[in-house]
Amino acid sequence: MARFDPKAWINLEKARVLLLDDHVEGGNILAQIVTGFGVKRFMRSTAVAEAKEVCASTELHLILVNANLHESPAFEFIDWLRRAGLQPNSFTPVILITGHTQRSVVEKARDCGANLVLAKPVSPLSMLERIVWIAREKRPFVNCETYMGPDRRFHDTGPPAGVAGRRHNDPPEAVASEAAADPPGESAEQFEGGEAA
């Protein structure tokens, strides 16, 4: 992620933010951070059921969720949000905040539809960097049987070499890589362990 440009400006005064954290101190820190960004309308929830009610009744612009909820896994809440059919809240950006950044946690966050994972301890600068990044990102939403959320690919490199692109907006490099692919008849058996011999 690129470093935050101090000249960048984003107005959060009118943003409506949901803070879901059942730890009082953690919720207080998040509230102080978003207040420092100029957010005047934020709702604090300490329970998933309460957060679901807020999502069903109030249009939100950002949701910050503590991954370590006692009552219910945060991943389930995010998955519910994405699939609940709440317009426009099912598409609201979600930042998952966690003290555990093992690959398995990051993958769970990605697969339930979170936009980004933010590691604790959370600083105002790290939070603002993520918010600005989300505001400027152009990842489309994906909705299929097994997943709903922002496209899990951060870089559009097109289809794998030798595979024709299926999308009208596949990058030009995809066409070039297709033309330069192995001739028909050659198979992956010439590779060992998935790497070129």
Q: Indicate the fold that domain 16-139 takes in CATH.
A: Rossmann fold (3.40.50)
Q: What is the pLDDT, as a whole number, of residue 164? A: 65
Instruction: Indicate whether 197 pLDDT > 90.
Output: no
- How far is 48 from 42, CA to CA, in rounded Å? 16
Picking from 17, 6, 93, the residue whose alpha carbon sits closest to that of residue 54 is 17
pLDDT in tens, 45-103: 999 999 999 999 999 999 999 998 988 889 999 999 999 999 999 999 999 999 988 89
Q: What is the CA radius of gyration of the chain?
A: 20
Q: What is the pLDDT, as a whole number, of residue 172? A: 59
pLDDT in tens, 163-196: 666 666 555 554 444 444 444 433 333 323 333 3
The ranges assigned to domains in the chain are 16-139, 155-197
Q: What is the pLDDT, as a whole number, of residue 3? A: 58
**Average of pLDDT values for 108-130?**
93
Instruction: Indicate whether 151 pLDDT > 80.
Output: yes
**177, containing H or E segment:** helix 172-179
The dihedrals phi and psi of 88, each to the nearest 5 degrees, come to: -100, 10
pLDDT in tens, 11-25: 899 999 999 999 999
